[in-house]
Structure 1
Amino acid sequence: MSGNKRIMKEFADIQKDPPPGCIIKLLNEEDMNVWDVVMDGPADSPYTGGKFTVQVTLPKEYPFKPPVLSFRTKVYHPNVTNDERGAMCLGMLKADEWKPPNKIAEVLRLVRAVLAAPQPDDAVESGIAEQFKNDNKSYEKVAKEWTAKYAK
């Protein structure tokens, strides 16, 4: 089994005490660097009731380089790209803001917080951000439709 001690320890810790609404497994038992996360849509958000799969890929240089997050479930959200990458724009995951003491559990807590409270001023999908700011009812309607359709 490949993987550094830090990753193995974090994985063991997160199994014992997962962030709320998250189930974390390895995508492949042989590879500690790719984690498969099933995240419940936060309550009181248009994502309530959805199950979102997020892949967390830890670079070989982890924890000195940030993990890469990728939504495998389509999600209608201003901070998640609407392409096959499903990348989420999070300040703490940017190379210049990432700090080695950060842990994946904190990252996942932040992901759920941003799902619940989009940050339209730091959006990767500007059209969705505009809709979120200017026509929140229709944003919520589409987000709920996508959640029902994709996040089963």
Structure 2
Amino acid sequence: MSTPARKRLMRDFKRLQHDPPAGISGAPYDNNIMLWNAVIFGSIFIAVLMTLLGMESTRPKLRRITILGPLMLIVIIAGAIVRNVVKRAIGAILGTFKLTLQFSEDYPNKPPTVRFISRMFHPNIYADGSICLDILQNQWSPIYDVAAILTSIQSLLCDPNPNSPANSEAARMFSEHKREYNRKVREIVEQSWTAD
């Protein structure tokens, strides 16, 4: 039986296949158009990378400056920066995060229930994986399709809102101890590489 919700989800799926947003993938699960699996890929954590680049400088010791010439100094500085940036950023760039979208027959008049399957540490994601995002709650509109939902989640991951926390520990760390927050996010990203 083809209901309005199912027809709309088929349109959303075709649109997502034809013109997928960067860093996002999604499809119905096991031929059930009402249940989708989706993946958001690591470019969402580019904000963490930018924070790392801005917060943590890597300078060679002053003693090296007096011993080596200017050209060698440039090589040492560049090497130190590249080594540390690559080491710290590789995980932030390559994470893969899985989520599910459960639709009701009221879609698109009501939003889906969206939940991360992957372990997350983020100010706006609850421990059970559900997401505190206005368009999935009080700001929902039938004009949003699956691509818009996933893109909004991707944006939220890149730009957390610590003033509306679902995870108070992550919000506090994000606001007060960014280095510690970034370390924890990196750990979880690295775990995502081996998670099923």
Identity of aligned residues (%): 28
**Equivalent position SS for 2:28:** strand
Larger radius of gyration: 2
State the Cα distance separating 1:130 from its structure 2 match. 0.6
State the Cα distance separating 1:149 from its structure 2 match. 1.2
Unaligned runs of 5+ in 2: 49-91
The TM-score, its normalising length taken from structure 1, stands at 0.90
State the Cα distance separating 1:55 from its structure 2 match. 0.6
1:51 pairs with one of 93, 96, 101: 96
Aligned pairs (5 A) from 1:1-152: 4-29=6-31, 31-41=32-42, 42-46=44-48, 47-83=92-128, 86-94=129-137, 96-152=138-194
State the Cα distance separating 1:43 from its structure 2 match. 4.7
State the Cα distance separating 1:68 from its structure 2 match. 1.1
State the Cα distance separating 1:33 from its structure 2 match. 0.8
State the Cα distance separating 1:45 from its structure 2 match. 3.6
In structure 1, distance between residues paired with 2:134 and 2:185: 23
In structure 2, distance between residues paired with 1:141 and 1:2: 47
Q: Which has the higher helix share?
A: 2
* Number of positions where the alignment pairs a residue of Structure 1 with one of Structure 2: 148
Question: 1:70·1:88 contact (CA, 8 Å) conserved in 2?
Answer: yes
In structure 2, distance between residues paired with 1:127 and 1:39: 23
Q: Which residue of 1 aligns with 2:56?
A: none
Unaligned runs of 5+ in 1: none
In structure 1, distance between residues paired with 2:161 and 2:151: 15
State the Cα distance separating 1:150 from its structure 2 match. 2.9
Q: 1:69-106 CA deviation, whole Å, 9 max, x = no partner?
A: 110000111111123xx001100110x32111111111
State the Cα distance separating 1:21 from its structure 2 match. 0.5
In structure 1, distance between residues paired with 2:177 and 2:14: 43
Aligned letter for 1:120?
P
State the Cα distance separating 1:5 from its structure 2 match. 1.0
State the Cα distance separating 1:151 from its structure 2 match. 4.6
